[in-house]
Amino acid sequence: MNKPKIILVGAGGHCRSCIDVIEQEDRFEILGIIDQTAPKESNTLLGYPIIGTDADLPALKSKCEYAFVTVGQIKSSAVRIRLFDQLKEIGFKLPTIISPLAHVSRYAKIGEGTLVMHAAIVNANAEIGSNCILNTRSLLEHDSHIGDHVHLSTGAIINGASSVGDYSFIGSGAIVVHEVVLPKNSFVRATQLVTSQKDVRVQETH
């Protein structure tokens, strides 16, 4: 059976990680990659062709039903939100991509366009919004919740019954302790221990 084709939007370093997860999951065939400009050294990324820019997406919809945002997120979620909304408006389906090397409880809920990377763990009754990144070895414990357009960086830990608001960034190795509720646009530094809302910086609205 032929696998459905998918277009990746964004050709930077995060895209390379996404490609690896998509290949491991083996559910989609990557048609090609969209970027603002083709890489100077070649017109491919890990062997997949750069097939156009954002402006070409409406025309490509007739060739491909699925698309996925492969731009990373650190200081701001604005670019990922713009691309997510653009793909939805065009009519693409944005699947949830889950590494086979991750563990996701069957009692968890994950929104569209979200990526769960290698060795990430999502425990029972956890909820994840749309267009999120759960990076390598991140942990979302039982009964916790993260909103839309959130990035949990490598090794970040969200403990049980905690909540992370929309558009937030949780740095590598950071720990959010049990039952802490973080507002929208929260920014948590790498390795930071968060015991209350007072420990985080709230960024300007995306």
| pLDDT single digits (tens) 110-120 | 999 999 999 99
List of residues 6+ apart from 84 with CB closer than 8 A:
69, 94, 113, 130, 131, 149
Q: Assign domain 5-90 to its CATH architecture.
A: 3-Layer(aba) Sandwich (3.40)
CATH number, domain 97-202, options 1.25.40.80, 3.40.50.720, 2.160.10.10, 3.40.50.1360: 2.160.10.10
133-138 mean pLDDT: 98
The pLDDT value given to residue 173: 98
| pLDDT single digits (tens) 150-162 | 999 999 999 999 9
pTM: 0.94
Q: pLDDT higher for 38 or 85?
A: 85
- Say whether 97-202 and 5-90 share the same fold: no
What Rg, from alpha-carbon coordinates, does the chain have? Answer: 17
Where does the pLDDT of residue 10 fall: very low under 50, low under 70, confident under 90, or very high at 90 and above? very high
The pLDDT value given to residue 30: 98
Angle at 135 between CA 129 and CA 138, to 5 degrees: 90
